[in-house]
Amino acid sequence: AGMGDALATWFEAQACSATQAPNECGGLSTLTGLTLAKLCYDTLLQYGATAKLAAAQHLITPALERIVEANILLSGVGFESGGLASAHSIHNGLTALDETHAYYHGEKVAFGVVAGLQLTDAPPDESARVFAFCETVGLPTTLADLGLGKVDRTRLRRVAEKACAPGEYIHHEAGTITPDKVLQAMLAADAIGAHRKRQLNV
């Protein structure tokens, strides 16, 4: 779950930098913050899978130490300096549904990342890379992964509306973000995630 939260750091810092949205301290992102956010993302992709295996075996390895650094230091400084955007707002929206309360913050943020990539029209290769990472380390890529396999659109719209409430971080993204757009993005991410699972026979 820590990797799921850290996964959002780079994408949200990029969004805030592009729109000049304020960071958590009320200022603008710095080059240092952006660089650390990117290093966080790169470290996750490079070492995340082997670090998870090490943790499962209660082993302390260089890969695990790098991921601990990414999850705590790089992500912490990266988000405070860079700011938050769609992934954390989608997380906040998901908390409107009781079924998601059994899941960790970082798990909901991870789904927020894959949905946010659909919302912001990320390049397909980047989206595929993030889906693959989440699959490898066991982070949610579908609504079913968050206990919402049977959720209807009416209830899912509550998620989208909460994610788009005034003052939410999602408005740090470029353009006008609406509940309809967020709903479509979540459904698109869910469809992609489910399709990939079928291909992988998961």
101: domain CATH number? Answer: 1.20.1090.10
Supply the pLDDT for residue 202. Answer: 65
Specify the number of domains making up the chain.
1
Supply the pLDDT for residue 27. Answer: 87
Q: Is 88 a catalytic residue?
A: yes
Check: CB of residue 163 under 8 Å from CB of residue 93.
Answer: yes
The active-site residue out of 5, 145, 172, 190 is 5
Q: Tell me the two tokens of residue 160.
A: 């989208």
What's the whole-model pTM score? 0.95
Check: CB of residue 98 under 8 Å from CB of residue 31.
Answer: no
Q: Is 105 a catalytic residue?
A: yes
Q: Which amino acid is at 55?
A: A
pLDDT tens, residue by residue, 11-37: 999 999 999 998 888 889 889 999 999
Residue 145 predicted with pLDDT over 70: yes
Supply the pLDDT for residue 73. Answer: 94
Q: How far apart are CA 160 and CA 68, in angstroms?
A: 32
Q: Is 5 a catalytic residue?
A: yes
Domain that holds residue 49: 2-200
CA distances from 118 to 106, 182, 190 (A): 19, 9, 10
